[in-house]
């Protein structure tokens, strides 16, 4: 239901709650993601939302510190939201938005901040139009009840396109739908909020040998460049390489120096020309 509502043209938008047009940009460094849904824990639905958000946050220099998956339990989600909110600059939840009994994210977020769920007049009008009804007690109206201090994020900046159904945020918690296509649209509204003082610089090395062959080299580079993160990722059934090594930090110079150092230590015949990587 939530996915259809986000896709369908909404009605007239009233100004009952101040909504954020992403002008209040705060520099951030850390984020946490909470995936809500029994269906994920049961394996009925494969979570792709956290992966997408992890990639997007990384691109803009936000350090994702933790991903948590929780079932449709108000108390458990509430506790995790509160913990994440206290621990990270920003919290992103996915799932649990809709008209059915197991859509509990709004209620859980409200409980996390000791707030009431209130009927928002803007969302009320949107829901009434979408469900083609005048009955404010219809099941779909559940999506119009949100935490009392919520902000409605309809668009990114003054020039951004306006969404028919907004992203809802409470304090530093941003609530996204579970349907991937809708989550991506909702994220596009608030993406500009997630800024950071950091920017990640990365270099990559592709090897024809297993990681065991370069253990000593890896340890040398890690010790010499403590502020640089080195990742080692074995790959199966790839005709070009067996291992991908990532060298990354927030300092472009350090990243490059660590990369050059690693390249100087690894035998040339172990290294695959990156231009040959598909």
Average pLDDT, 10 consecutive residues per value, the chain (278 residues): 43 36 51 97 97 96 96 98 97 95 96 96 89 81 93 78 87 96 93 86 96 96 96 93 95 96 97 78
Check which CATH number belongs to the domain holding 241 and give it: 3.30.70.2860
Residues 238 and 169 in one domain: no
Of 195, 218, 243, the one marking the end of a domain is 195
Residues 215 and 184 in one domain: no
Q: Report d(CA 240, CA 237) in Å as an integer.
A: 9
Residues 229 and 123 in one domain: no
Check which CATH number belongs to the domain holding 69 and give it: 3.40.980.10
Residues 245 and 109 in one domain: no
pLDDT for 137? 81
Query: What are the strands, taking DSSP E only, across 71-112?
Result: 90-94
Residues 140 and 236 in one domain: no
Say how many domains are in the chain. 2
Cα 130 → chain centroid: 27
Residues 230 and 96 in one domain: no
Residues 189 and 95 in one domain: yes
Residues 38 and 136 in one domain: yes
Q: Note whether 1 and 120 are within 8 A (CB).
A: no
Of 154, 171, 195, the one marking the end of a domain is 195
pLDDT for 171? 96
Q: Note whether 126 and 144 are within 8 A (CB).
A: yes
Residues 186 and 259 in one domain: no
pLDDT for 54? 97
Residues 105 and 20 in one domain: yes
Give Cα separations from 161 to 6, 11, 23, 112, 190 (angstroms).
14, 15, 15, 31, 12
Q: At what angle do helices 74-87 and 105-112 cross, to 10 degrees?
A: 50
pTM value is 0.84
Instruction: For residue 41, give every residue at least 6 positions away whose Cβ sits within 8 Å of its Cβ, in sequence order, or none.
Output: 69, 71
Write out the residue range of the structural domain in which residue 205 sits: 201-276
pLDDT for 206? 96
DSSP H helix total and E strand total for the chain: 9, 14
Q: Note whether 154 and 166 are within 8 A (CB).
A: yes
Give, in degrees to the nearest 5, the angle at Cα 187 between 186 and 188. 90
Q: Report d(CA 232, CA 209) in Å as an integer.
A: 12
Residues 206 and 261 in one domain: yes
Residues 133 and 165 in one domain: yes
Of 195, 229, 254, the one marking the end of a domain is 195
Residues recorded for the chain: 278
User: Whose CA is closest to 229, among 209, 207, 248?
Assistant: 248
Cα 274 → chain centroid: 29
């Amino acid at each position: 239901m939530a996915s259809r509502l986000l896709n369908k043209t909404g009605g007239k938008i009233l100004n009952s709650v101040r909504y954020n047009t992403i002008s209040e940009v705060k520099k951030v460094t850390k984020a946490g993601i909470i995936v809500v849904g029994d269906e994920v824990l049961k394996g009925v639905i494969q979570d792709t939302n956290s992966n997408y958000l992890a990639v997007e946050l990384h691109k803009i220099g936000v350090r994702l510190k933790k991903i948590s998956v929780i079932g449709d339990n108000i108390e458990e989600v509430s506790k995790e939201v509160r913990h994440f909110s206290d621990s990270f600059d920003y919290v992103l939840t996915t799932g649990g938005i809709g008209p059915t009994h197991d859509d509990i994210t709004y209620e859980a977020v409200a409980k996390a901040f000791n707030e009431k769920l209130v009927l928002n007049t803007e969302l009320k009008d949107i829901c009434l139009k979408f469900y083609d009804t005048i009955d404010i007690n219809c099941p779909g109206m559940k999506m119009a009840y949100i935490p009392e201090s919520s902000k409605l994020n309809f668009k990114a900046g003054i020039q951004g396109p306006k969404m028919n159904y907004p992203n809802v945020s409470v304090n530093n918690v941003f609530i996204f739908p579970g349907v991937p296509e809708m989550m991506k649209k909702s994220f596009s509204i608030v993406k500009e909020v997630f800024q950071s003082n950091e920017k990640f610089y990365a270099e990559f090395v592709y090897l024809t040998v297993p990681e065991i062959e370069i253990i000593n080299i890896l340890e040398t580079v890690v010790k010499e460049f403590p502020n640089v993160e080195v990742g080692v990722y074995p790959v199966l059934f790839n005709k070009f390489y067996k291992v991908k090594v990532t060298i990354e930090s927030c300092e472009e110079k350090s990243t490059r120096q660590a990369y050059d150092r690693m390249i100087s230590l690894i035998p040339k015949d172990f290294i695959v020309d990156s231009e040959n990587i598909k």
